[in-house]
Amino acid sequence: MLLNIGIGIAALLCAWSVFLYLAGYGTATIGMLPARAVVRVNGNLTTAKTLRLRPGTYTLLVTSPLTDPYQSTFHVSVLAATRINPSLQRRSPDAIASSVVGGIGPTEPVALQHAQWFDGDTWVVGFTLPANAPLALHYDTTQGKWSVAYSTAAGYPSDKTKLPAEISNYITQLETTYVPG
């Protein structure tokens, strides 16, 4: 009798494990991603918008050249559908400037003061301390990269006439208002 019960339990466990192996997935759909977003789930890169996942808790990391890194965890249950809408924030101007120029002078991290965005957030312009030097950064949508479009520091483009008029005007405004002399 006991053995029969054991066989029954073992058969149920067997059926359950086979079911889990074959169909034990949930789905997670990631919405609202910017262009060139890099998505990592538990550290694995993925390009799929809808993920078929084993039940459990996962970490999600979304980065892009235009947004601050977004990190969160989400839970997936068997046969359940989860939708994740990352609340992506515009990328910090300080981070953009830092990732392009690294530093200002000897070991001074970059902080972009009075930063203003232009042209669909593909330009950010401000001035850097301590010299109050204007800095214009441009995002090349083709290359997917930020670069220095204008800086008074040696080694960088410094021709304002090559900039779009609104960028050039804002730099002039910064220079008039904040640059000493």
Partner 1 sequence: MYQDNRQLAIRGVIAGIFTLTAIVGFALYRQSNTYAPVHSNTTTANPVITDPEILQNWLPDTVYQYTVARISDYLVANNLYASSLSARDRIVNGSGAYDFAVTLLPQNQTLDVSVSVNNLQGIMSTAVTIDGTLQQQLIQTVTNDGTSTGSSTTYTGLDGLIEHGITTTEISELQSLLQKYAPASTSIDISPNTIQASYDQDTGTMSYTFVVTINTSQYVAVFDAISTTQARLRIRDATTSQQLYDSGTVTVPAAP
Kindly list the residues in this chain that would bind partner 1 in the complex (CB under 8 A).
3-4, 6-7, 10-11, 13-14, 16-18, 20-21, 24, 38, 40-46, 51-54, 56, 58, 61, 63, 68-69, 71, 91, 94-95, 98-111, 143-144, 148, 153-156
- Closest by CA to 91, choosing from 72, 63, 71, 119, is 63
Helix (H), strand (E) at residue 64: strand 56-64
Minimum gap (Å) between residue 167 Cβ and partner 1: 20
Minimum gap (Å) between residue 165 Cβ and partner 1: 26
β-pairing verdict for 38-41 and 56-64: antiparallel
Minimum gap (Å) between residue 166 Cβ and partner 1: 25
Comparing CB distances to partner 1, the nearer of 18 and 169 is 18
Minimum gap (Å) between residue 169 Cβ and partner 1: 25
Helix (H), strand (E) at residue 125: strand 123-128
- Closest by CA to 100, choosing from 115, 88, 112, 114, is 112
Comparing CB distances to partner 1, the nearer of 31 and 105 is 105
Minimum gap (Å) between residue 177 Cβ and partner 1: 24
Comparing CB distances to partner 1, the nearer of 94 and 175 is 94
Comparing CB distances to partner 1, the nearer of 31 and 109 is 109
Long-range contacts from 100-109, C-beta under 8 angstroms, 24+ separation: 100/137, 100/146, 100/147, 100/148, 101/135, 101/148, 101/151, 101/153, 101/156, 104/128, 104/129, 104/130, 104/131, 104/133, 104/153, 105/130, 105/131
Comparing CB distances to partner 1, the nearer of 140 and 166 is 140
Mapped onto helix, strand or coil, the DSSP state of residue 50 is strand
